[in-house]
């Protein structure tokens, strides 16, 4: 939920600059390739003494990112098309061995 006007004014009097960002989508890409995708989130930008912080409010959808080398390996080992390899990897939650077995079985 967004901050009300009184809260924003109070924070501004304390030296914080608070701004509402009208975002349609926010994506956080994690090191393991997983993405957190927030659709229509509530985003507040706060600045103070040269530092900026963003607060994102919403329920993220978790998306697993498939690595290109994993797709190519499954294609190479099974002779499957790219579409088939991607589908098998998604069904196997990214497990390469399971995807290969699924396509060869």
pLDDT in tens, 39-89: 999 999 999 888 999 999 999 998 878 889 999 999 999 999 999 999 999
Q: How many C-beta atoms surround the C-beta of residue 103 within 10 A?
A: 19
Q: What is the DSSP letter of 69?
A: H
Domains and CATH numbers, the chain: 5-63 (2.20.70), 68-104 (1.10.8.10)
- Write down the pTM of the prediction: 0.58
Helix intervals (H) in 1-105: 5-13, 68-78, 82-91, 96-104
């Amino acid at each position: 939920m967004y901050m009300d006007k009184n809260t924003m004014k109070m924070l501004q009097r304390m030296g914080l600059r608070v701004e509402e960002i009208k975002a349609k989508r926010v994506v956080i890409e994690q090191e393991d390739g997983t993405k957190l995708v927030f659709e229509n989130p509530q985003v507040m930008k706060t600045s103070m003494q040269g530092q900026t912080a963003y607060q994102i409010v919403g329920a993220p959808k978790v998306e697993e990112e498939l690595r290109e080398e994993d797709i190519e390996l499954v294609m190479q080992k099974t002779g499957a098309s790219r579409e088939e390899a991607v589908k098998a990897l998604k069904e196997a939650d990214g497990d390469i061995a399971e995807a290969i077995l699924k396509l060869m079985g």
